[in-house]
C-alpha cells in the first residue's frame, strides 16, 4: 500500500511542526483526527482541507460538514494529492480559526506491521485551541495587566516632565 508523509506547520508559527504518515486509502477524516490529536486540539470543531496552488491560493475545499457530498468521510487522502509536491491548507476552529500549512514530503510503500496514521515528528507545543477571552498572553489576570500598564504610562509621563526640553504638540 502507498503511504504519504506530510509536514504540518501552523501558518503563524513556523517553529511548530508535525510530521504525519497516512495511508493513501484512508479517509480524510482519519487524517483530520490524526492532525487534531498531534496538536492536541478537539477534533469535533468544524474543519476543512483546501487544495492550494504554489502560492497557497485555494483551488478546492473539503469540509467535515456531514451534509455536504464531499466531506471528510467520503474522500480518501489520495484524492487530496494531485501533485508529487502537493500543498494543502487545513483550517480548524477554536476561539479563532487556525490555519495550518501541509506539504507532501514523501511518497513510500507502507510498512504492513505499522498502524496508520502515525505521528513521526513533533516539534514545539501547539498553542491552545481555546483561550480564555480578555486574558493577557503571559498569564496575568486582566487587573494585573491594567495596573502594570498604568504604572508604565505614569513612568513615561514622569520621564517626559523631567526633561529640560518640552515638546509642544501642534
DSSP state of 119: E
pLDDT tens-place string over residues 47-73: 999 999 888 888 888 888 777 777 888
Cα–Cα distance between 129 and 143 in angstroms, integer? 24
Instruction: Give the distance, in angstroms, between the CA of residue 53 and the centroid of all CA atoms in the same chain.
Output: 18
Q: Are the C-beta atoms of 104 and 4 separated by less than 8 Å?
A: yes
pLDDT over threshold 90, residue 127: no
Reading the block at residue 49, the C-alpha cell is: 482541507
Q: How far is CA 27 from CA 40, 71, 106, 133, 140, in A?
A: 20, 10, 18, 35, 42
pLDDT over threshold 90, residue 156: no
Beta-ladder partners of 22: 4
Amino acid at each position: 500500500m502507498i503511504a504519504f508523509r506530510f509536514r504540518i506547520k501552523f501558518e503563524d508559527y513556523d517553529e511548530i511542526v508535525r510530521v504525519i504518515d497516512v495511508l493513501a486509502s484512508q479517509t480524510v477524516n482519519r487524517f483530520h483526527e490524526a492532525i487534531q490529536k498531534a496538536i492536541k486540539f478537539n477534533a469535533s470543531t468544524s474543519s476543512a482541507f483546501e487544495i492550494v496552488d504554489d502560492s497557497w491560493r485555494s483551488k478546492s475545499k473539503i469540509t467535515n460538514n456531514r451534509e455536504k457530498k464531499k466531506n471528510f468521510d467520503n474522500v480518501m487522502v489520495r484524492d487530496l494529492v494531485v501533485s508529487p509536491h502537493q500543498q494543502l491548507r487545513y483550517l480548524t476552529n477554536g476561539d479563532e480559526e487556525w490555519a495550518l500549512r501541509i506539504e507532501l514530503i514523501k511518497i513510500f510503500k507502507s510498512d504492513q506491521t505499522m498502524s496508520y496514521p502515525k505521528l513521526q515528528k513533533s516539534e514545539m507545543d501547539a498553542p491552545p485551541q481555546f483561550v480564555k477571552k480578555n486574558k493577557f498572553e503571559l498569564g496575568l489576570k486582566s487587573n494585573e495587566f491594567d495596573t502594570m500598564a498604568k504604572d508604565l504610562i505614569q513612568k513615561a509621563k514622569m520621564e517626559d516632565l523631567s526633561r529640560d526640553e518640552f515638546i509642544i504638540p501642534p
